[in-house]
Chains A and B, each alone.
Chain A
């Protein structure tokens, strides 16, 4: 067994952190490591936390962690922040709000940059979740800014998704990006001491009245003041309720989940192979299409026939 994996399973924090780095870097050892940890995963409850910038997600994660730690459960936190598309760098500041737990051995916090990789973010996050799961975290909180598609894709890997809103102007539900409202299992109106909280709750309830959830779970709308720990015990209780409901109703079978993951991995691998082949073997073909001597569909078919022996056609 890989040395790092062995040490991680014995509870070594440094090895756990190293493994997450290898995953983020898409290092050659990645696949072997994930293969070895797979039998140790599938135990944690994964909670996704998303919402607009400044909604108080980090503070909420901090307070939720305190609540969960009160039950003695081990908590993993993955905080995703945007990578600058210009410099490739990232300023990861979510820990500022979570330093209370920095020296608690029952909490492991990891910040990740989005790194702007096609589909790679959701994949890297899913694999990082697996690592913390195998490390023994019983609850894993994944925090992302709900702005882009890849951030939304991350939420597919959560068992329970919280959408965090504030009652302030600009956060009015009409203006919230389509796609975010639909993924919520629980709505959290944070900073509920501000004006407009009641209206916000009413608006969301009205929206929920109009759309019957196919699953049968109507997302509860909770109010919190994270900084005062107000509403946090109720939030944790509701997360546990959702977990129990999922279990009883077999919302998504393991088979469906596995099927989706396999499709994702295969797509990712194929995209990689296609790009590699196009760069290596088909410069000539690309030039012919560019010169309008050949149309792109015929060119694509030619590539499929040659590189894939027609296997991808039907």
Chain B
């Protein structure tokens, strides 16, 4: 049974894609963070049993799983960036010379930095509105239920954190791209 697992492993666990120290730290942290998915799974199963077998559905399962999974989705952004797993259209990118590719990498990093900066600005406004009420007092936005956990405020903060992390990751990618040496272009042009 080694063969098909090998295929998945090369697709999923390829450490070669990790470009910077920050990226590998983020990739490493998933070993802990990913258990949030397991928690969401367990809670869902508990809810089904509580409801179907004991006829006493919980009041907390729905909001808790939504929170955990939303958090997983957000964290997935920096994680996929760390492993360079975000989907790109590579047809043109792969066909150019290493020098041009380096220029593209620099350009793309700059565009992404602008994007994350805009997101960070917008998230900052969103976070301040969910952590403070209009009079300026600290008040964490809740789900509005009787239980009212402050999960919206926490998730909105997590949006800001993830965006800032991706900004910093991209700064490192930019530095790496600028420093990267490319082989002599004449050598690649011979190949065409």
Task: Specify whether A and B are partners.
Answer: no
Give B contacts to A, CB under 8 Å. Answer: none
